[in-house]
Amino acid sequence: MLRLQAPLPDDFTLATADQLVDRIAAAKQTLGDRLVILGHHYQRDEVIRWADSVGDSFLLARFAADNEVATDIVFCGVHFMAESADVLTGPHQRVILPDLNAGCSMADMANVDQVEESWDEIAAITAIDRVVPITYMNSSAALKAFVGRNGGAVCTSSNARAVLDWALAKGDKVLFFPDQHLGRNTGFTMGYGEADMRVWNPHEECGGLEERDVKDATLLLWKGHCSVHQRFRPAHVEAARVEYPGIEIIVHPECAHDVVEVADRVGSTERIQEWVRAAPAGAALAIGTEIHMVQRLAREHADKTVVSLDPLICPCSTMFRIDAPHLAWVLENLVAGTVVNQIVVDADTAGWARTALGRMLAIT
């Protein structure tokens, strides 16, 4: 998705790390309680050090919504996260994304036009009132609104099974987007097999499927993925077990199913954090998720061996766009009374997105 982030003035890009630290600290002190800085787990350390709360996208959005004193929410994450925060926060609060080009490749793999076209194609084949649309939190506000209008709900990687159980209690099949791997891995935990699932390719007519496939499938999985988590392979698991005998392999459910099958544990970013904290001193753990979070866990738990499952180390390139210069830029603009990079979701979209998020909360 094209976003337009103007280049920063040289005053920010040429500043030294120490100068940026001083400028960010001064701006944050000036702004006081009106400012809240949110940092996703995958952010750089130079950004995380300033965060008032660190967590996954939904946890951070809820944190912002619960802080009624703050009027300016600087979300150090990606575009869909800032949208969710704008949907959930009050009218007196403004959500700011330090770099407008910080998107999410997975979220961009499903846009509302594609989903609406696919919905119409499915409706031409089967009873659409028996199909429940479910979107992962990693999606645009427009997609959250789509599922809200069409009787569906949002899910996170932590509650995907509960949401799919709910969906299949009220319908015969689910259209799950945008991440096929989370949908597939959740389906297997529910007892479904490959025969119950089909991948819907939005770039092909009728998703690249025969009518019989659409009618037979319980789970129609959108052909989308996370560019970071899809890198992990069973060979990485094998290599880690050879290098560190007895190591525990922990992966995110956005990984491919063949990786999930050979891992020891599968969980969200929050669950991964919990498991690492709970591991005894001397434990060895290989983590299949974004490298900044893994490296931070390794530093915080120096009594344990915490390594990335992928030795080539692949950061989330879009998360990586948020850096100290961009953070200093948005904060100093706020001090000067100028709001830059505000993320605003229109009222109709926000209303239906809240409906979808509300269903998720009621389910879980």
For residue 253, the one-letter residue type is P
How many whole angstroms from its chain centre is CA 13? 28
> Which pTM value belongs to this model?
0.94
Q: For residue 149, give the amino acid letter.
A: R
Residues sharing a CB contact under 8 Å with residue 24, sequence separation 6 or more, in sequence order: 50, 324, 327, 328, 331
Helix (H) or strand (E) holding 49: none
Query: Residues 89, 95: contact at Cβ < 8 Å?
Result: yes
CA-based nearest residue to 190, from 155, 223, 224, 215? 155
Per-residue confidence at 18, pLDDT binned at 50, 70, 90? very high
Helix (H) or strand (E) holding 174: strand 173-177
Token output for 363: 């389910």
Measured between alpha carbons, how far is 116 from 239 in angstroms, rounded to an integer?
Answer: 43
The answer to whether residue 1 scores a pLDDT higher than 70 is: no
Could you tell me if 266 and 254 lie in one domain? yes
Condensed to tens digits (0 to 9), the pLDDT of residues 188-214 reads 999 999 999 999 999 999 999 999 999
Domain CATH number, residue 266: 3.40.50.10800
CB 260 within 8 A of CB 275: no
In a shared domain, residues 295 and 245: yes
Residue 260 sits in which domain range? 229-308
- If asked whether residues 52 and 144 sit together in one domain, one would say no
Domain-located, residue 362: no
Asked if 354 contacts 88 with a C-beta cutoff of 8 angstroms, the reply is: yes
Q: Looking at the structure, do residues 151 and 222 belong to the same domain, yes or no?
A: yes
Report if residue 328 sits inside a domain: yes
Q: What is the mean pLDDT of residues 75-104?
A: 95
Average pLDDT of the chain to the nearest whole number: 95
- Are both 64 and 84 inside the same structural domain? yes
pLDDT confidence band for 314 (50 / 70 / 90): low
Q: Domain count of the chain?
A: 3
- Pair (19, 82) in one structural domain: yes
Of 226, 242, 259, the position where a domain reaches its end is 226
